[in-house]
Homo-oligomer: A and B are copies of this chain.
Amino acid sequence: MSKERLSVIKIGGNIIEDVTSLHTFLKLFSNLEGKKILVHGGGKRATHIATKLGIESKMVNGRRITDADTLEVITMVYGGLVNKNVVAKLQALGADAIGLTGADINSIKSDKRPVKEIDFGFVGDVKKVANKSIEKLLQADFTPVFCAITHDGKGQLLNTNADTITSQVAIGMSEIYETSIYYCFELNGVLEDFNDKNSVVKIINPSVYKELLANGVIADGMIPKLDNCFDALENGVHKVYIGNTSMLTKENDNYTTITL
């Protein structure tokens, strides 16, 4: 018997922060057929509120450190302000949303990142996704909305990368569903030429990926993102799509599909 389909959709800070983009996306999301899960980042709102509260953003080697004060702000902004407003808006659009951190229903357990050269502070690396508990919510016809927070199971919340949450939740749910990931961002997809927004690489499989890495089309921050996609595919996820939010409609076929 073929598995039922599940879509796991991630939106980044640029969509979250723009009222119009967010509304357009949430409409598309709520109209999407079948079971679905939303994962959202928090964007610059957290930095903005941290600054107002007099909490400095600490960076080491260009990477943000989550100290106790910063974790409080993240918990307020991601878990409260952003998550609950998204849930309220989805309810208005007819989607029976439920906002979650990884602590809720013990859905995503993580390990505090060990201190090596850098102490990242209260940052978690995902260890276990409780797919059977998440499945109970989906079976009840609720639509889970995850923010980028997990917990260690001992009472500590942990800041966790939203892309990783997306792929790990999708991997976990693949046991039960034919699960696809949609990474929505401001571009149309992975671009062959960064200056031509229509030069979308339509399909990336492992051999295309090698080529794109060799000729430098995929570089820097895109490498961990793509590695993350292939990791998901190698661990049971059906397909990964990268593009702007209109890829959720049938009209747009200009986006990147990542496949094995």
Contact = CB atoms under 8 A, between A and B. Distances in A.
Q: Which 5 residue pairs are nearest across A and B when measured between Cβ atoms?
A: A80-B80, A76-B76, A92-B155, A79-B80, A88-B103
A104 interface: yes
14 contacts: A49-B76, A52-B54, A76-B76, A77-B80, A79-B80, A80-B80, A84-B101, A91-B155, A92-B154, A96-B106, A97-B105, A98-B98, A99-B99, A99-B104
Interface in A118-173: 133, 136-137, 140, 142, 149, 151, 153-157
A230 interface: no
Contacts of A84: 75, 79-80, 101, 103-104, 149, 157
Contacts of A97: 103-105
Nearest to A92: B155
A78 interface: yes
Contact of A101 (B87, B151, B157): B87
A68 to B, nearest CB: 12
A178 interface: no
B76 A155 contact: no
A153 B76 CA distance: 22
Contacts of A91: 103, 106, 151, 153, 155
A145 B207 CA distance: 49
Per assembly, the copies of the chain total 2
B76 A81 contact: yes
Contact of A53 (B53, B80, B137, B142): B53
A75 to B, nearest CB: 5
Contacts of A52: 52-54
A202 interface: no
Q: Which of A76, A78, A85, A154 has the most CB of B within 10 A?
A: A76
A72 interface: yes
Contacts of A154: 92
A80 B45 CA distance: 14
A35 interface: no
Contact of A49 (B53, B100, B137): B53
